[in-house]
Structure 1
Amino acid sequence: MKLLCSVLLLSLLNISTCILASAQNNDSLGSDQKFVLGKVEVLHSSILSENRILNVYLPEGYDSTARYPIIYLLDGSADEDFIHVAGIVQFNTFPWVNRLPKSIVIGIANINRKYDFTSKSDRSSDNKLVPRNGGSTRFISFIEQELQPYVEKKYGSSEGNTIIGQSLGGLLATEILFTKPQLFDKYIIISPSLWWRDGYLLRSSPSILNSNYSAPTKIYIGVGKEGSIDGSKEHIMEEDARLLADKLQKGLSRHVNVYFDYLPEEDHSTITHQAVFNAFRMLYPKQK
C-alpha cells in the first residue's frame, strides 16, 4: 500500500510538473512575459491620513462568488515577507499537500513600521531604539474599521481571519490579541518584541484569559535562539515568548488553543519562513 501511494504521488507530481513546464514553455507566449504573483491595491485611510499599499495574493482558480479564509500579513511589502509567505500559502494548498484551505493573502506594506507597531513608551531605552513610537492604537483601528471592511466588501465575507506578525509585528499581533481578540480567529505570532515597555503586555490581564471568552481562537507562538534584542538582560526573546505562551495556556477559556514552537536552529533573521510553515501545520492538523 505504501509503495502504491508513493507511485501515485510521484505520478501526480510528474503530471503537475509537466503541465507547469508546458504552460511556461509555450512558444506562442513570446518572450519577456510578466510573471504575476499577485496584485497591488491602494487603500486610502482616513484614520492614518495616508494611502496604504496592499499586496494581494489570490488562490489558483479564484472564484469571486466563493468565500475564502483571509490571511493578513504585517510586514507585507514585496521586499519584506509577502513573496515568501504567499509561496508558503500556495504550496500548502496544492492538492497533493492539502494542508491549508485555499486562502487570500493581504500583505500590508509598511510606511513607518516602528511607529505603527508600537504603543507609546516613556522608557528611555525604548525611545533610544524607536524615537517616534506610539501609533499602534491608530493602526489597530485602521485594521478594524477600514482594512477588514474593505477586504470583505471586495472579496466577500471571509471563512476566518488570520494575522501573521514577526518581531515588532509580533508585538502588534499580541497587542491585538490582548485588546481586540475577536478581530482574528488565528494568530501567528513570531519572535514578538515583548521587551517593549518593559514587557507590559506580559503583565496585563486581557479578556481572552477569562472563562467567559467564547470566540474560538488558535494562537501559534514561534521563537528561535535569539537572545536579547534591546540589549537588556531582563528580556530574552525566547524566554518572553515562552512566558506569553504560558500566560495564554493558563487562561480559563475552553475556546482558546495555544501552540508554542521553539526553533533553536533559527535566529531573529531566519525564523519567519520556517515558523509560518510550522504554524500552518499546527493550526491545520491533517485529519486522520
Structure 2
Amino acid sequence: MKITNFFILVLCLVGSHNLLAETKLEIMAKSKFTIGDTIEFHSLVLDENRILNIYLPSSYDAAIDKHYPVIYLLDGSASEDFIHLAGLVQFGSFSWINQLPESIVVGIENVDRKRDFTYPSNNLLDQKDFPTSGGSEQFIQFIGTEIQPLIAKNYRANASKTIIGQSLGGLLATEILFKKPNLFDNYIIISPSLWWDDESLLKFTALTSSSPKSIYIGVGKEGEIMERVAKALFEKVKANKPSHDAVFFNYFEQLSHGDTLHLAVYDAFDKIFRSKKE
C-alpha cells in the first residue's frame, strides 16, 4: 500500500511539473485574422457615411483572372449576420460540398434599419413604433447606384448578384423584387415582415423582368401572421412569375423567427445554385 501511494505521489508531481512547464510557453507571434475587407465611404444618396464588410473567397488573391458572383447581405455587420453567413458561403463552396460557386459576400452595415428597410406606412401603429420609417426608396437607390458600382469597380465581381434579407430585410428584398427586379438575379427572402402597412406590398402589381430570377422564400413557426404573409408572397410570385423564373418555398416548423435564417439560407443555396448546375 505504501509503494502504491508513493507512485501516485510521483505521478502527481510529474503531472504538476508538466503543467508548470506548459504555463511557461510564450506566444511567438500574433496577428489579426481577417476574412476580407471593411470599407467606409460617404453615400451621396443618403448623405451619411456607410460601412460594408466584404468576405473574399480563399482563392481570390491567387486567382487574379477569376471573377466571382456577389451575395449582398442586409443586416451585414459583424454583430449581425455577416460572419455566420459568410461562413456558410465558404462551407458551401468547398469542392467536396460544391453547393454554390465561390462568391464575394458584401455585408451592408446598418445605420437605421427601421428607416432604410421600410416604405412609408399609413398604419398609425407602424408610424408610432417606427418613427424614422419610410426611407426604403432612397436605400434601394443607394444599393443600385452606389454599392453595386462600388463593388464592381473595386473587386473582381461577375454579373451574378444575389440579395439576402430577413425580417425587415425580407420586406426590403420583396420591395426590390417587385419594384426593381433587375437589381438582382437571385432573391433569398426569409421571414419577411410583410405585415407592414397592413400588408400593402402583397397588393402591389409586381414589375416583370426579362432576365431569369431565382426566388426563395422561407419562414419558421413564427405565428399566424408571419406564416400567412410568407406563404401569400410565395403564391403571388409563383402565380405571376415569367416561365423562366424559379420559385422555391420552405416552412421550418421546428424553428422560430430568431433562428430560421441560417438553415433557410443553406436550403436556399442548395435549391438555387444546385438547380442551376443540373
2:265 to 265, 268, 276: 276
**Residues 100, 274 of structure 2: 8 Å contact kept:** no
How many corresponding residue pairs?
251
Alignment of 1:220 onto 2:220? no
Structure 1 partner of 2:200: 200
Structure 1 stretches (4+) deviating beyond 3 angstroms? none
1:178 partner SS:
helix
**Residues 70, 157 of structure 2: 8 Å contact kept:** no
Mapped to 2, the partners of 1:36 and 1:271 lie a distance apart of 27
Mapped to 1, the partners of 2:103 and 2:133 lie a distance apart of 33
Q: TM-score, normalised by structure 1?
A: 0.84
Structure 2 partner of 1:237: 226
2:158 partner SS:
coil
Structure 1 partner of 2:3: none
Mapped to 2, the partners of 1:205 and 1:194 lie a distance apart of 15
Mapped to 1, the partners of 2:198 and 2:103 lie a distance apart of 36
Alignment of 1:60 onto 2:49? no
The alpha carbon displacement at 1:122 in A equals 2.2
Alignment of 1:99 onto 2:99? yes
**Residues 93, 99 of structure 1: 8 Å contact kept:** yes
Identity of aligned residues (%): 52
Structure 2 partner of 1:161: 161
Gaps spanning 5+ residues in structure 1: where?
1-26, 229-235
The alpha carbon displacement at 1:195 in A equals 0.4
Higher Cα Rg: structure 1 or 2?
2
**Residues 224, 266 of structure 1: 8 Å contact kept:** yes
**Residues 114, 168 of structure 1: 8 Å contact kept:** yes
Mapped to 2, the partners of 1:238 and 1:48 lie a distance apart of 33
1:250 to 239, 244, 253: 239
2:78 partner SS:
coil
The alpha carbon displacement at 1:38 in A equals 2.2
**Residues 72, 164 of structure 1: 8 Å contact kept:** yes
The alpha carbon displacement at 1:251 in A equals 1.1
RMSD over aligned Cα, in angstroms? Answer: 1.7
**Residues 64, 155 of structure 1: 8 Å contact kept:** no
Q: TM-score, normalised by structure 2?
A: 0.86
1:40 partner SS:
strand
The alpha carbon displacement at 1:81 in A equals 0.1
Mapped to 2, the partners of 1:195 and 1:45 lie a distance apart of 30
2:170 partner SS:
helix
Structure 2 partner of 1:108: 108
1:47 to 41, 45, 48: 45
Structure 1 partner of 2:185: 185
Taking structure 1 as reference, are residues 153 and 50 closer, same or farther at Cα in structure 2, changes over 3 Å only?
Answer: same
Mapped to 1, the partners of 2:94 and 2:41 lie a distance apart of 30
